[in-house]
Amino acid sequence: MRRFGIEEEFLLVDAQTGLPAVPDESAVAALMNIEGGGSSTSRELLSCQTESATPICTNAKQALESLQGYRRALATGAESLGFRAVGIGTAPVVPEHPATVADTPRYRDMAARAAGIVDDQYVNGLHVHVEVPDRAAGVRVLNSLRPWLPLFTAIGGNSPMWRGRDSGFASWRTIHYRRWSVQGIPPCFAGINDYDLRLKRMLATDVVLDCGHIAWAARLSDTYPTIEVRASDTQLEAKDSVLIALLIRAVVGAELEDPAQPDGVADPEMLDIALWKAARDGLGGELIDPGDGESRPAEEIVGVLMARIEPVLSRHGDLSFVERGLAGLFENGTGAQRLRRVHADVGMPGLLDYAASALLL
């Protein structure tokens, strides 16, 4: 069974103001000591962010228990410091002054290279790692994933609010991220040598700091024998993170076990439009069909994906979890849809209350 792991980025907000938190040195040390579900805490670009990573998982139960265990520990630890932890893809309200960057050499370097971007880079993503046999196979999988990445953005849209109001996008994080030098849908690669050559050329510039600075929606991991998919926002609830991870694992498995013919949408400009449209509309509108490029209801595009990966989901024992999860999203809404309903009913303080409580589910 193909192994996988999940990384989640979380936002810390001040319990009184709802603005991104600015932990002092002692608070940072306390946050870095938080552990739960087999996961520990690591720093992210901004001081108001934390990141966790599950242990290596083989099934949904392991992943869900790990995420829930860590999220509960983070909620408790943050509350003891006067903060609230939330799983939202963007900070719903931000200060006028520049963001406080985490005090590490790498993040200080990033801020120096791209100050205007880092100043309000209040974005939090979900990163899914799936094991691949080798880097050459990883490139083949990366190419096959390209048409599906917009769908993972739509399913994982959870950042509609920005600067205190609705951005008009289900995933404002995805749009916000487009300011970086290397981002969006990765190009199609001729093979591993082509992939490595392109990375070498980018890293030779004074723009790309390191391999972690390449912000494609999917890439080969520079650390693990995995492909890393970064197309979705961080999620309100742990079960939705697991749902997205299982879908991605199934797409990887389908390509490795039964390669599809490359006859779908591959033009970079169309994939870029598909990603932008998915970020705007989420699952609430139409998406671009990865087969013929036509716009169709999101539920139909999900059906196309399920037809491709259902055999793999069944072999992994994931089918019922995925079917329940997708049905729940279409019935109750994605994170973006739920946040919009809550904001309409109870405003921004209520939205943050809701997001903080969702971290415990």
**What residues of the chain score a pLDDT lower than 50?**
none
**What are phi and psi for residue 82, nearest 5 degrees?**
85, 15
Kindly give, in sequence order, each residue whose CB lies less than 8 Å from that of residue 63, ignoring residues fewer than 6 positions away.
Answer: 4, 6, 54, 57, 241, 242, 245
Please report the pLDDT score of residue 267 as a whole number: 87
Please report the pLDDT score of residue 96 as a whole number: 94
Token pair of 168, please? Answer: 């008009």
- Does this model's pTM top 0.95? My answer is yes
Decide if 122 contacts 91 (C-beta within 8 A). Answer: yes
DSSP state of 128: E
Find the helix packing angle between 60-80 and 25-32, rounded to 10°: 160
- Residue among 361, 249, 239, 270 nearest 315 (CA): 249
| DSSP helix/strand/coil, 184 | strand
CA distance 111 to 177: 15
Per-residue pLDDT of 84-108, as tens digits, reads 999 999 999 999 999 999 999 999 9
Sequential DSSP letters for 119-141: TT--B-EEEEEEE-SSHHHHHHH
Please report the pLDDT score of residue 71 as a whole number: 98
Secondary-structure breakdown of the chain: helix, strand, coil percentages, each rounded to the nearest 5: 50, 20, 30
Per-residue pLDDT of 291-334, as tens digits, reads 888 999 999 999 999 999 999 999 999 999 999 999 999 999 99
Please report the pLDDT score of residue 291 as a whole number: 86
